[in-house]
Amino acid sequence: MSKKYTLSSLVVWVAALGYFVDIFDLLLFGMIRTSSLKDIGITAKEDIERMGLMLDNWQMIGMLVGGIFWGILGDKKGRLSVLFGSILTYSLANIANGFVTDVSVYALLRFAAGFGLAGELGAGVTLVNELLDKEKRGLGTAFVAGTGILGAVVGGFVVKWVGDWRICYFIGGGMGVVLLLMRVGIMESGMFEHMKNSHAQKGGFRLIFTNKQRLMKYLGVVFVAVPLWYVVQLYAKYSPELADSMGLQFSEAERKTVPVNAIMLTYLGLTFGDFACGLLSQYLRSRKKAIWIFMVTSIAGIVAFYLLAPRGHIWFYGLILILGFAVGYWAVFMSVAAESFGTNIRSTVTNTAPNFVRGTVVVINLAYEFLKYRLHYSSMWANITVGIVVFAVAIWALTRLEETFGKDLNYIEE
């Protein structure tokens, strides 16, 4: 590569701002779930929770489908084609969300938004990892993830300031259009340019699923990050129901802001967690050790949450902030995803892996809903039961991963 890229390069900033808009739009529904559903005629508390879970599922199914589509496209046509196509798709979808008057249309548009959002992070991280020096790429990914996650915090302030959920969707879509203009001038990855003229198979899952070692590594990459979305989903987005189950009382006015506050605090914690885990990974010169430390901290944080959060609102919110920090190893996870596979399937992996992780939210939701509404668990015990399974699988997954710190990425999978 003729050009030397640094942490201050435009490509790093654009990837970070792209993820910022991605997270803003992705978490926006969780913040305005109650107000938007009430506005279109869903008023019963139980219906708001169940319709919210359904719409969440459609959004995450869209991300699963989109992750596969954009990932393969990125390996076949280049990382930039994904960056442009995905952001245009989710920007238009979110603008259209502002005109929703019916739940079925809402579900279709959440699917479309999820489909578009699926391409943003993977393509950006792939570019950053392929353009930066191998000793700096972990810091680059941490900067992208840490900056991007602030989108949820800013989203919370926007929701509180603007109030109208329809205008919030317009703002999210408009931010995407502005970002699209910023992408002009970004260069394609040199590794991709070198690889595209080779005869190696580009994109797709054949190289992953026909090799047991690669498949186990891929499953390890996916499942190791599920605890983060378990916390985001059941502790932040559905925090009102969890608070009720723990005996915490909120007034009707306070209840409207509980998910907004919880999402903001979770993602504020995630922002600091991503930077901290990225720096720890650099200091230890190990991705796996850093993830182990944060995962153990997450388990301790959840135990502390159930012991202390029932004491009051400050404890509840404070421990949600701590939980956000503890599961803040998303940046290191993305580095592992990008560093674990060759150039010819790297986009496929870095686009599908995080979106399959997000897609596990569908399973988390279904398990939570089954435990609560079929087996009549309380929200708290349904949450705990799902969490035990999630962390057991994540610990198994971490044992499947290889150490990738400092690994040369300029190779292809045969």
Phi, psi dihedrals of residue 132, rounded to the nearest 5°:
-85, 155
Identify the CA nearest to 125 among candidates 264, 225, 232. Answer: 225
- Residues contacting 161, CB < 8 A, separation 6+: none
Supply the pLDDT for residue 20.
Answer: 87
In a domain, 38, yes or no: yes
In a domain, 301, yes or no: yes
Supply the pLDDT for residue 13.
Answer: 82
In a domain, 48, yes or no: yes
In a domain, 375, yes or no: yes
In a domain, 264, yes or no: yes
Task: Measure the CA angle with vertex 256, ends 163 and 307; round to 5°.
Answer: 140
In a domain, 196, yes or no: no
Supply the pLDDT for residue 177.
Answer: 85
In a domain, 3, yes or no: no
Q: pTM for the full model?
A: 0.75
Residue with tokens 């991605």: 22
In a domain, 5, yes or no: no
Phi, psi dihedrals of residue 113, rounded to the nearest 5°:
-65, -45
When divided into structural domains, the chain yields a total of 1
- What CATH number is attached to the domain comprising 383? 1.20.1250.20
Supply the pLDDT for residue 234.
Answer: 92
Is residue 70 within a helix (H) or strand (E), and if so which, with residue range? helix 45-77
Q: What is the mean pLDDT of each run of 10 residues along the chain (414 residues)?
A: 60 81 84 88 84 89 86 72 80 92 92 87 72 73 80 87 91 86 57 51 68 89 94 89 88 79 90 90 92 97 95 94 94 86 78 84 91 92 96 94 80 67
* Domain that includes residue 213, residue range: 10-188+202-400
